[in-house]
A = this chain, B = another copy of it.
Amino acid sequence: MSILIVGSLALDDVKTPTEERFNLLGGSAAYAAIAAGYFSPVNLVGIVGEDFPEEHWNFLQERGINLEGVQRAPGKTFRWSGEYMLDMNTRETRSVDLNVFETFSPQLPAAYRAHDFVLLANVAPDLQLQVLDQMEKPKFVVADTMDLWINIAQPALLELLKRIDMLILNDSEARELTKESSLIKAGKKIQSLGPRLVAIKKGEHGCLLFGEDDFFSCPAYPLEDIHDPTGAGDTFAGGLTGYLASCGEKEITFNTLKSAVVVGSVLASYNVEAFSLERLRSVEQSHILERFAQFKSMAHFDAELPGN
């Protein structure tokens, strides 16, 4: 089943403790679309400027991403520049140039309005709401967000929460949004604000999924070296939603949701192994299966306890 993804397309400059790279393909929608594309046909909504390299456009198209909903506007593409500290967990944004994104208003082609599965990748919540306003009756809406929107656009974010099935955010964002230091309390409090499902990403500690009466703790893949964490969260969201859409005809059980979280984690674990989307250029279905099996082996246990 095809999936609608709305988000940013960007050109990134990224500096890590060992290397610096320029004009990389970035943006929440780029990562999410490539990840989702492993499982479901993707229809993308976004905007790029006149300077968006043909190479990046072609890469997305070659992966089967439908770019009909991507506007090519006069002016420059959204640009982000960031630097990672020695521990690779701390990031400093060096500059953000919204450019064509500043006046972006997502317009859904008529054929896009009837999607069952929607991923509102990380953009301002008022843009995410504009997309929902144009949809007919989506079956499953996932939204990603970030600290910036919690700080400067919380009313719109709270409105969005009432209209989605699942919110994805990281641990510090969950604490900031709820003012709870316990992630368990934070997850449940977010559910009380609207979404029946909440995924809290914890970086090196994995991910927590809060369901209506269920709870899942997904481990992180034990990577020794992380080359570029940029887009890990977007990749996670894309892989997760793409996998769910591929199961879309069936009822979405909590078991399916668990596997979707693992699939998202698998793709994110590959993504951070190289700059930008470079690692995913060579990741094939068989690699996903392989690491999915590794996740299983590092999370599953079985025993006969006394008294069994």
Residues of A within 8 A of B (CB): 38-39, 86-87, 89, 181-185, 188, 202, 204-206, 208, 214-220, 222-225, 243, 246, 255-256, 258-259, 261-263, 285-286, 288-289, 292, 296-303, 305-308
Pick 6 A–B contacts, CB within 8 A, sort by A: A217-B219, A259-B305, A262-B303, A285-B305, A289-B307, A292-B305
A39 and B259 contacting across the interface, CB-CB below 8 Å: no
B206 and A217 contacting across the interface, CB-CB below 8 Å: yes
Q: Measured between alpha carbons, how far is A258 from B301 in the docked complex, in Å?
A: 6
A284 (CB) vs chain B CBs: closest residue = B307
B224 and A298 contacting across the interface, CB-CB below 8 Å: no
From DSSP, what is the main secondary structure of chain A's interface residues?
mixed
Asked whether A299 and B300 contact (CB < 8 A) given A183-B204, A219-B219, A223-B184, the answer is yes
Q: How many copies of the chain does the oligomer comprise? A: 2
Q: Which residues of B contact A305 (CB under 8 A)?
A: 243, 259, 263, 285, 288-289, 292
Would you list the 6 A-B pairs with minimal beta carbon distance, nearest first? A259-B303, A217-B219, A258-B301, A205-B205, A285-B307, A87-B181
A89 (CB) vs chain B CBs: closest residue = B181
A308 and B289 contacting across the interface, CB-CB below 8 Å: yes
Q: Which residues of B contact A259 (CB under 8 A)?
A: 301-303, 305
B182 and A224 contacting across the interface, CB-CB below 8 Å: yes
Q: Which residues of B contact A225 (CB under 8 A)?
A: 182
Q: Which residues of B contact A87 (CB under 8 A)?
A: 181
Q: Measured between alpha carbons, how far is A205 from B263 in the docked complex, in Å?
A: 20
- Min C-beta distance of A171 to chain B, whole Å: 9
A303 and B217 contacting across the interface, CB-CB below 8 Å: no
Partner pick for A307 among B243, B255, B286, CB 8 A cutoff: B286
- Min C-beta distance of A63 to chain B, whole Å: 15
A298 and B183 contacting across the interface, CB-CB below 8 Å: no
Asked whether A215 and B222 contact (CB < 8 A) given A181-B87, A302-B255, A303-B256, the answer is yes
Q: Measured between alpha carbons, how far is A220 from B216 in the docked complex, in Å?
A: 10
- Min C-beta distance of A247 to chain B, whole Å: 8
Asked whether A301 and B246 contact (CB < 8 A) given A184-B224, A202-B205, the answer is no
